[in-house]
Amino acid sequence: MTELEKLQNRFGITGLARFEEGMGGLPRIALTTPAADATVYLHGAHVAHYKPAGQRGVLFMSAASQYRTGRPIRGGVPICFPWFAARAGDPDAPMHGFVRLGDWSVESIQRSGEGASVVLGFKSNSATKMSFNADFELRYHILVGPKLDLTLEVRNTGEREFSFEAALHTYFAVADSRNITIDGLQNTEYVAKSEGMQRKTQTDPLIRIDREVDRVYQNTQATCRLEDPGFGRTITVEKENSNTTVVWNPWIDKAANMADFGDEEWTGMVCIETANSAENAVHLPAGQAHRMRAVIQSTPH
Ligand code: BG6
């Protein structure tokens, strides 16, 4: 019996959850429910597709994405943990941490109302301890329904407190990034990564993409609303236990320099990331758990 067949026998649900070979031969779960369809790769616990019934897909996926062990998938919802961006003091450490590069295990799949819930897990091991010396267990709860409800649970299974950063690095599909607006972050301080790491304050009530935007908004729990007149919809991102929001669009030059991203694809995406990063890193005592949640909803106009 193949690994896929074993997973299907143990966790598959006829008509609702099917294990299949995805891009690059990587295993993925295809969820088909009355409320929404979704696909989730075990590689990185990566939600690569979410489409509420009767609507277009909500998530952007790059046509140039690699689907390979050891490489991140470009688009969808990569999970960044236990650090965000480059690791301070360790240039060889993988960007955004190692869990988006690793294989996650399936803990459960269940019908949930008109949708489905999936729980995936990842545990620290001797390899993770080489770069992050902590004992932890991650559990990622993915609720696919009229909303996409994602909770990253981090449990400290060791005997010492540790600190971590995390992000649900969500890529949204938009008709044209130059014509969208994002609200919810007015008066919030941010680190402008694309402007020499300057610390600035968001004065305009609306964020527009008119250049490379790479901003790490700190100390905000606000709901963000993404208005997309081209696709005729509003996407809301509500969150819990997240104090950082990252807004990212690479614009022309950075897109051209990314090997796994099409040169023109920056017009079709924007990232609004539910995160805890930099001064909002989480300090987790031994035996405790932290749950960061993002609830995403698309409302057609
Ligand atoms: C964003 C960062 O969250 O992720 C950017 O703020 C970064 O600086 C982007 O370029 C993409 O990162 P990666 O590792 O997936 O190419």
pLDDT reported for residue 88:
84
Q: Whose CA is nearest to atom 5 of ligand 1?
A: 214
Average model confidence (pLDDT) for the chain?
98
Kind and range of the H or E run holding 254: helix 251-257
What separation in Å is there between the alpha carbon of 4 and the centre of ligand 1? 31
The finding on whether 72 has its CB within 6 A of some atom of ligand 1 is yes
Distances, alpha carbon 109 to alpha carbons 18, 24, 31, 297, in Å: 10, 24, 10, 21
Cα 150 to ligand 1 centroid, rounded to whole Å: 20
For residue 71 and ligand 1, the question of a CB distance below 6 A is answered with no
Give the residue, by CA position, lying nearest to ligand 1 atom 6: 214
Helix (H) or strand (E) holding 151: strand 148-156
- Give the distance (Å) from ligand 1 centre to CA of residue 85: 6
Q: What is the mean pLDDT of residues 5-10?
A: 98
| Ligand 1 pocket, residue 96 CB under 6 Å | yes
On whether the CB atoms of residues 262 and 254 are closer than 8 A, the answer is: no
- For residue 8, give its domain range: 3-300
Provide CB contacts within 8 A for 108, sequence distance 6+. 11, 117, 118, 119
- Give the other-Cβ count within 10 Å of 84's Cβ: 25
Q: Which atom of ligand 1 is nearest to the CA of 250?
A: 10
* Structural domains in the chain (count): 1
- Residues in contact with 217: Cβ distance below 8 Å, sequence separation at least 6, in sequence order: 185, 188, 189, 190, 202, 244, 245, 246, 247
Q: Specify the CATH number for the domain of residue 275.
A: 2.70.98.10
Name the pTM for this structure.
Answer: 0.98
Rounded distance, CA 261 to CA 8, Å? 32
Q: Are 27 and 38 contacting, i.e. CB atoms less than 8 angstroms apart?
A: no
Cα–Cα distance, 44 to 80 (Å, whole number): 9
For residues 250 and 224, give the distance between their C-alpha atoms in angstroms, rounded to a whole number.
20
169 lines ligand 1 (CB under 6 A): yes
Question: Atom 13 (ligand 1): residue with closest C-alpha?
Answer: 95
At 91 the pLDDT is 87
The pLDDT-based confidence of 52 (bands split at 50, 70, 90) is very high
Give yes or no for a contact between 120 and 142, defined as CB atoms under 8 angstroms apart. yes
For residues 132-159, average pLDDT: 98
Write the pLDDT tens digit of every residue in 195-230.
999 999 999 999 999 999 999 999 999 999 999 999
> 3 pLDDT band (50/70/90 cuts)?
very high
